[in-house]
Amino acid sequence: MADGTGLDERLADLAAEGRRFAVPPAAEQIRARGERRRRRKRVAQVSGGALLAVAVVSGGLWLALPGSGTAPPAAHPSPSSSGFVPPTPAPGEEYASEIGYVYDAVLAGDSVRVTVKPRTGAVHTLTLSPQLPVEVEHVAGGEPADMRLGELVDRLSGGPRWQFAVDYDGEGRVRSLREASW
């Protein structure tokens, strides 16, 4: 093969290149893994930043648009002849609770009227939204559940049977009912 075609050299180069790709040296493997790791990290940072930006924008829009939330409006207790004054939250607390029997529920148009007989204090009547959130367990048959007051009117229509914690905000509005169980 001394005819000058360089076939020997070409075959030697091909054999060396084949070995290099068949079993890459450890340094090349390490570099390749490092590069893949860096690419994954960059992709995660870019997608995480984009996700955060979308969350901030959508949260801002949700807050800025009037009436876009599905949260029920807070209900003000109706005035009663008992002179009832709603409890106020302690400093640093979000709600103040009153524990008592909730009964005589009546659906009246777009509101529910209930009677509250607290452990201490005067019996009073509240007019609440049927969408008011209620945490129940025994009222729902022993399974913990989140319901709306409108769904419980028939169960609360009788006499004093179920005890609830009535949560009031700082403005005296009822924010939720939680079944009290001991």
CATH of the domain at 157: 2.40.50
Distances (CA, A) of 148 to 41, 90, 103, 172: 45, 27, 15, 20
Q: Which residue, 85, 109, 100, is CA-closest to 156?
A: 100
| Same domain as 101, residue 60 | no
Q: Is 75 part of a structural domain of the chain?
A: no
What pLDDT score does 68 carry?
Answer: 47
Total domain count for the chain? 2
| Same domain as 167, residue 106 | yes
| Same domain as 104, residue 58 | no
Q: Is 53 part of a structural domain of the chain?
A: yes
For residue 56 the two structure tokens come to: 């901030």
Q: Is 83 part of a structural domain of the chain?
A: no
Q: Is 119 part of a structural domain of the chain?
A: yes
Q: Please tell me the pTM assigned to this model.
A: 0.55
Q: Is 1 part of a structural domain of the chain?
A: no
What pLDDT score does 25 carry?
Answer: 59
Q: Which residue, 92, 79, 71, is CA-closest to 176?
A: 71
Stretches where the chain sits below pLDDT 50 are 1, 68-69, 79
Range of the domain at 169: 96-179
What pLDDT score does 139 carry?
Answer: 85
Distance CA 64, CA 144 (A): 34
What pLDDT score does 125 carry?
Answer: 92
